[in-house]
Amino acid sequence: MIPGVRVPLFELFLAFLQVGLVAFGGGGNAQLYQALVLKRGWMGEREFLETTALVRILPGPIFANAAAHLGMRLGGLMGAVLALVGVLAPGSLLMLLLSFAYFRFGAVPGSLAESALDGVAAAAIGLILATMVRQAPVALDSLKATVLAVGVFVTYGILHWPLLLVLLVHVPVGVSLYWREAAHPWGEVEVPPHG
C-alpha cells in the first residue's frame, strides 16, 4: 500500500485544476509544491522533493509527470488521471483557442500579430537561456559533465543526429561515468524550478 494521505477525488481534481490555471512560464513544480505541501499539507516536503526528483528519469515534461505521479499517490489511478487532466485542461483549451485564431485570421508575415509573436519567441528563448545559466554551475560541475553536455550539443544541435541515436550514445556513457559516484545515496543536488 502507498503510505500517506488518501484525498477525496473531487478535492484532488480541484487542487490540480487550480495549479493548471496559474502555472505560467514553466513554474509548474513550484506551484504544485505550494498547492500540495504548503497549502493543503497532503504530503511532506521531503517526500515531495524525492518524488519530483525521481520523475526526472522519465520522458516528457517533468511538471505533467510529477502531477500524474502525485495524483496516483494521493488518489490511486483515478487520482492520477484527474491530476493530469487538471493540469493539462486549462492550458490546452486556451492553446486551442489561440491556435484556431491563428489559423483563421492568419498571422501574415509582416503583420502586427506576427511581430508580437516574434517578440514572445525572443522572450521564450530568453527563458530557456536564463534557466540554463542558473543551472550551469550545478549541472556542469565536472569535466565529465561538461564533456557529456558538449557531446549532446554537437551531435544533436549541430550535426542533427536523430534524438534516439544521441540518447543511445550518451546515456550509457553517462551512466558509466557516474557509476562510481552513484554508489552512495547522498550528494544529490536539486535545482529548484523557476517561478
Partner 1 sequence: MDEVLQVFLTFLRLGALSFGGGMANLPEMARVLIAKGWVTQQEFADGFALGQFVPGPNMLAVVFYGLSAAGLPGVLAALFGMFLPGAVGAIWLVKGWQWMARSRWSRALRKALVPIAMGLSASMVLILVQLGVDGAAWLLGVSVAALLIHRGVPVVWVMGGGAVLGVLVGLVLA
Which residues inside 57-76 make contact with partner 1, applying CB under 8 A? 57-66, 68-69, 72-73
Give the whole-angstrom CA distance, residue 164 versus residue 155: 11
Residue with Cβ nearer partner 1 (37 or 67)? 67
Reading phi first (left if > 0) and then psi (alpha if -120 to 50, else beta), residue 186 is in beta
Choose, by CB under 8 A, the member of 8, 10, 11, 50 that binds partner 1: 50
Choose, by CB under 8 A, the member of 22, 35, 41, 45 that binds partner 1: 22
112 binds partner 1 (CB under 8 A): yes
Give the whole-angstrom CA distance, residue 102 versus residue 193: 30
- Which residues ranging from 2 to 21 are in contact with partner 1 (CB under 8 A)? 2, 20-21
Helix, strand, coil % (nearest 5) of the chain? 75, 0, 25
Q: CB of 38: closest distance to partner 1 in angstroms?
A: 19
Sign of CA dihedral 75, 49, 36, 27: negative
C-alpha cell at 1: 500500500
Residue with Cβ nearer partner 1 (38 or 130)? 130
Q: CB of 79: closest distance to partner 1 in angstroms?
A: 10
Residue with Cβ nearer partner 1 (41 or 103)? 103
